[in-house]
Homo-oligomer: A and B are copies of this chain.
Amino acid sequence: MSQNTLDYIDEHLDRFIEELKEFLRIPSISAQPEHTPDTRRAAEYVAAEASRIGLENAAVMETDGYPVVYADWLHAEGKPTVLIYGHYDVQPAEPLELWTSPAFQPEIRGEDIYARGSIDDKGQVHLHLKAIEAMLQTQGTLPVNVKLIIEGEEEVGSPNLVPFVVANRQLLRCDAVMISDTTMYDYDMPSITYGLRGLAYLELHVTGSDRDLHSGMFGGAIANPINAIAALIAKMKDENGRITLPGFYDDVIDVTPDERAELARLPYDPQTYPNMLGITTTTGEAGYTDLERLWARPTLDVCGIWGGYQGDGAKTVLPAKAGAKISMRLVANQSPLKVADQLREFVQANLPEGVRAEVIDLHGGPPALTPTDSAPVKAALVALEKAFGVKPFLIRSGGSIPIVADFERELEAPVVMMGFGLPDQNAHAPDEKMNLKNYHRGIKSAAHFLEEFAQA
């Protein structure tokens, strides 16, 4: 990396932050119809900025919802192409009264800039733009080809992104997708997120008699759907916390010894969650550490349950039906559809006598696991080490970001999640903030990445 570029980043940092503030002032809340003009204005802002810093073909491309901003720079002949993805829309700011300074009036306090969208995701989009500006300004060129797509519906589930990608597969062809929308493990611990869990979310309905019955007159000889659904749910896990659906673990890629060693490098205080959440202890599948349970192992959690009488006092009813919402977090290479079928079959095979059951598929998304020895991940690790001066960490996340698997599937390119957030930065909550030192190091990381990936 030319020292000029790094110097440019240092010298222009204050201006960069002023420009970021301008971006943050736009209340581009995709969930709130009254902010439609603001949200579209944010798209225009990104497109204009992309042009200004030297990207080409900048376009606000319409979808059935908010537009996707596209821009590119494709003059690095023979070099790989990076697609940088991010989003210009933000979460609603409510409850407004809990913000120390107004959500759309960015304010710097200490090392942090406070504003809705600061870390999720405007700040992290902006640092890539500034890295590109710095390289083009100081070197007149980029070491790789770059394509930019910044969408405006991430906070409402990206309903139009996959159709956009499918419709523009040729335009978006690339060798790697770079996303900065995740967190580092901790401050001064730069991290690459290489795995996300997928999701299979189902609703289970159990039905007994065709009406609620008197528990005295009928109790004992008529099956109770609540007892039945409890028995079904209980049977879905064994005493070691393992899920009992036949075939459930067949496609699971278990953590390798190398990966376990890498995860064991991460500082983890077993009292952190108990202290934070008011619980006595963490718990889970036997034979795995908490981080492995959270990141690398599938789950089966009931997110909601209902049935019978929920009011005050003692109503002696033998209910007609019960229901539950069941979320299964999946890990590579589980398939949400296959797992849904496994649950459906398990329920029928284990159905208590005298009740019927139905399983409804509500939602699903595949897990993602980027090989840590892939060229873009290796380039990102070197980039982070150069920018932060410490060996970066390979981490996973227990949550699901469906677009990651979507990109991998539709573009057949590995996805690198190089995020600069921190766990306490209040994404989706009042007083959202971004650490400006990490913003600064993020710009350098983004620049280093382009250079490192050029050599892959």
With a cutoff of 8 Å between Cβ atoms, the chain B residues found around residue A218 in the complex are 273, 294, 398
Q: Is the CB of B329 within 8 A of A281?
A: no
How many residues belonging to A are interface residues under a CB distance threshold of 8 Å? Answer: 80
Question: Residues 296-331 of chain A: 1 if any B CB is under 8 Å from the residue's CB, otherwise 0?
Answer: 011111111111111101111111001111010100
Shortest Cβ distance from residue A423 to the other chain B in the assembled complex, whole angstroms: 9
Contacts of A231 in B (CB 8 A): 230, 233-234, 237
Between-chain CB contacts (< 8 Å), 11 pairs: A210-B278, A218-B273, A219-B294, A220-B284, A222-B282, A224-B301, A227-B233, A304-B308, A305-B308, A314-B363, A315-B325
Is A209 a contact of B303 with CB atoms below 8 Å?
Answer: no
Q: How far is the CB of A122 from chain B (nearest CB, A)?
A: 22
CA distance A311 to B297 in the complex (A): 28
Chain A, interface SS category: mixed
A171 within 8 A of B: no
CB within 8 Å of B: which A247-302 residues: 273, 277-285, 290, 293-294, 297-302
Knowing A316-B201, A325-B315 touch, does A354 contact B280 (C-beta < 8 A)?
yes
**A208-B279, A315-B325 in contact; A226/B284 too (CB < 8 A)?**
no
Min CB distance A333 to B, Å, is 18
Contact with B along A328-364 (1 / 0, CB 8 A): 0100000000000000000000001111100000110
Question: Do residues B302 and A226 form an inter-chain contact, with CB atoms below 8 A?
Answer: yes
* A66 → chain B closest CB, angstroms: 22
Contact status B308-A222, CB under 8 Å: no
> What CA separation (Å) do A279 and B213 show in the bound complex?
12
Contact of A281 among B227, B234, B354, B363 (CB under 8 A): B354
Flag if B303 contacts A325 (CB, 8 Å).
Answer: no
Q: Are B314 and A362 in contact (CB under 8 A)?
A: yes
Cα–Cα distance between A322 and B230 once the two chains are bound (Å): 12
Q: Is the CB of B316 within 8 A of A226?
A: no
CA distance in complex: A235, B234 (Å): 8
Contact of B279 with A303 in the complex, beta carbons under 8 Å: no
A102 in contact (CB, < 8 A): no
Of all chain B residues, the one with the shortest Cβ separation from A312 is B362
B210 A277 Cβ-Cβ under 8 A: yes
* Most B C-beta atoms less than 10 A away, residue of A216, A285, A293, A316: A216
Cα A226 to Cα B318 in complex, Å, equals 20
Contact B304 A226 (CB under 8 A): yes
Smallest CB separation, A165 vs chain B (Å): 23
Q: Do the beta carbons of A316 and B303 come within 8 Å of each other?
A: yes
